[in-house]
């Protein structure tokens, strides 16, 4: 029982973690909570569904690659249209935040308009195949999700620590202005970070719908809120915090729904969130803000 809960928790946690990284990545650079992230999650799933059912037919891999590209492009365009004009004039982050809410509304509305409000079947991989993992029934898609996430986490680690672009992003998160003065292509780098964040949300969105084997218009806000809670729990702006927060939340939820009740599991994530906000508002890994006079 416990092992089963852990397996389910880790696979759901992977999905939270991927979206949460998107929040944290942008936050670490711009101190901006990018509300459009959850909408990209939904949009990518819808794009995947649309491509799979109409164009690419049976090839999941091809559809997936196209979806990733589309999500990256959407992320970049969001930055250029909705964030950059505000950022460049040095306006308060609150404005960029409100603007990202605008984008979220637009994307959600487009999805709702084109997709409709009913629940539809979503293509999945290796349906009905299970592996017995020390007594825990683990579906093939769960294993795929967990492995993909681990791969992406290793990649992200390499990307931000070793890669030139990643180094640039880290420099940006330290001091945006200095980077600008040093002649770094700040705008391109920020655009790329939006693209990366969106692609992570896309992986997460497609994976989640494959896991559920269905898609509806409400998946974005459901997971978006949880991923956001995970980000805060881990400490917003910290990549490892997003991952740890995602896993903690998902495992806690599964524990509660496994041993107690389904409806209580909704409370647990926000219960944890309230506790964090009361005890340590900066989250598990967050650094304390220093008051500057």
**Binding-site member from 110, 178, 181, 262 for another protein (CB under 8 A):** 110
Q: Assess 273 for contact with another protein (CB under 8 A).
A: yes
Q: Assess 81 for contact with another protein (CB under 8 A).
A: yes
State the minimum distance, in angstroms, from the CB of residue 16 to another protein. Answer: 15
Give the whole-angstrom CA distance, residue 182 versus residue 200: 29
Sign of CA dihedral 81, 87, 91, 96: positive
DSSP helix, strand, coil percent of the chain (3-state; round to 5) = 75, 5, 20
Q: Assess 265 for contact with another protein (CB under 8 A).
A: no
Site for another protein (CB under 8 A): how many residues? 48
State the minimum distance, in angstroms, from the CB of residue 85 to another protein. Answer: 5
Q: Assess 190 for contact with another protein (CB under 8 A).
A: no
State the minimum distance, in angstroms, from the CB of residue 237 to another protein. Answer: 9
Element of type H or E holding 132: strand 130-133
- Cβ atoms of 51 and 173 within 8 Å: the answer is no
Give the whole-angstrom CA distance, residue 77 versus residue 142: 32
Q: Looking at beta carbons only, is 39 or 51 nearer to another protein?
A: 39
164-190 in b/e form (b: 16+ CB < 10 A) is eebebbebbbeebeebeeeeeebeebb
Interacting residue ranges for another protein, rule: CB under 8 A: 31, 33, 81-82, 85-86, 88-99, 101-106, 108-110, 113, 221, 225, 228-229, 232, 236, 263, 266-267, 270, 273-274, 277-278, 281-282, 289, 291-293
């Amino acid at each position: 029982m416990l092992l089963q809960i852990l397996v389910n928790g880790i696979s759901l946690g992977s999905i939270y973690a991927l979206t949460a990284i998107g929040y944290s990545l942008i936050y670490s650079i711009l101190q901006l909570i990018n509300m459009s992230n959850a909408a990209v999650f939904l949009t990518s799933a819808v794009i995947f569904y649309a491509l799979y059912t109409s164009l690419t037919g049976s090839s999941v891999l091809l559809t997936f690659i196209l979806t990733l590209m589309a999500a990256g492009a959407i992320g970049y365009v969001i930055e250029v249209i909705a964030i950059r004009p505000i950022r460049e004039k040095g306006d308060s982050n609150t404005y960029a935040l409100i603007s990202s809410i605008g984008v979220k509304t637009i994307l959600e509305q487009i999805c709702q308009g084109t997709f409709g409000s009913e629940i539809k079947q979503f293509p999945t991989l290796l349906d009905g195949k299970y592996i017995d993992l020390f007594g825990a029934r683990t579906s093939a898609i769960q294993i795929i999700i967990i492995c993909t996430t681990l791969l992406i986490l290793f990649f992200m680690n390499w990307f931000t620590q070793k890669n030139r672009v990643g180094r640039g992003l880290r420099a940006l998160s330290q001091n945006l202005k200095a980077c600008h003065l040093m002649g770094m292509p700040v705008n391109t780098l920020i655009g790329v970070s939006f693209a990366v964040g969106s692609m992570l949300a896309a992986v997460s969105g497609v994976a989640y719908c494959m896991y559920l084997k269905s898609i509806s218009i409400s998946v974005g806000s459901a997971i978006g809120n949880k991923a956001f809670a995970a980000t805060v729990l881990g400490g917003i702006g910290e990549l490892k915090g997003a991952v740890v927060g995602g896993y903690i939340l998902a495992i806690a939820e599964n524990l509660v729904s496994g041993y107690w009740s389904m409806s209580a599991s909704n409370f647990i994530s926000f219960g944890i969130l309230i506790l964090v906000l009361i005890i340590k508002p900066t989250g598990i890994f967050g650094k304390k803000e220093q008051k500057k006079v």
